[in-house]
Amino acid sequence: RKEVEQDPGPFNVPEGATVAFNCTYSNSASQSFFWYRQDCRKEPKLLMSVYSSGNEDGRFTAQLNRASQYISLLIRDSKLSDSATYLCVVNIKSGYSTLTFGKGTMLLVSP
Amino acid sequence: DAGVIQSPRHEVTEMGQEVTLRCKPISGHDYLFWYRQTMMRGLELLIYFNNNVPIDDSGMPEDRFSAKMPNASFSTLKIQPSEPRDSAVYFCASSEGGGMLDTQYFGPGTRLTVL
């Protein structure tokens, strides 16, 4: 089983739509969780951290379900500029910043 | 403030040649990471340094790969000899601390093609 698994997509949605991505991780000892965004031919950039209680940043909401070992990202009111690949990232090793990346989910927002 | 700087941005070389990738982390960041990204395997951690000392190199694929960090502002990743399967985008990232919530900032990457 892969350590971090994501549906590669692409998810094709119209502007204004709500879209959700899920990600599962295999190591129950995982300590911290993130969503990164990667534009085509660019570097990954941190979108948001994922906290146990769930957190929201504008149109973006992240949730963590430790019991089921999955993380979700919800994007409301999609914009054309949201088109990118979204990487689910897990810190598996306790105490050190060693991140394990999923392969990403591609989102395409159309006019 | 400048972000992570990598050079070259693109490298095309022939199999068997030595390749050296360079990285300048963000000033004041104590951790530096080298990643490789391919379509097949996604983004993989190769090695990381803390205060210029290699901490974990378990992701380095084989002896053909080596990394150094001679000072706080410079690191290199060397492949010798290079092979076509080394073709990938190589990212360098840095973070201020090594805590679980410390953000890693990525450079623009070096796109390596080995013919």
Q: In Å, how far from its chain's centre is CA A86? A: 5
The kind and range of the H/E element at A35 are strand A32-38
Tell me whether B55 touches chain A (CB under 8 Å): yes
B102 contacts on A by Cβ (under 8 Å) = 97
Per-residue model confidence as pLDDT tens for chain A (111 residues) = 678 999 999 999 999 999 999 999 998 888 889 999 999 999 999 999 998 888 999 999 999 999 999 999 999 999 999 999 999 999 876 555 578 899 999 999 999
Contact A105, A21 (CB under 8 A): yes
Q: In Å, how far from its chain's centre is CA B29? A: 15
What is the Cα–Cα distance from B1 to B89, expressed in whole angstroms? 24
- Whether the per-residue pLDDT at B46 is higher than 60: the answer is yes
End-to-end Cα spacing for chain B: 37
pLDDT number for residue B102: 82
Mutate which of B4, B43, B58, B113 to disrupt the A interface (most A C-beta within 10 Å)?
A: B43
Task: Note the pLDDT tens digit of each residue in B12-24.
Answer: 999 999 999 999 9
Residues 19-38 of B with CB under 8 A from A: 31, 33
Q: Which of A4, A10, A3, A28 is nearest to A88 (CA)?
A: A4
Helices (H), chain B: none
pLDDT number for residue B98: 77
Contact B9, B109 (CB under 8 A): yes
Q: Select the residue of B42, B104, B107 nearest A97 (Cβ to Cβ).
A: B104
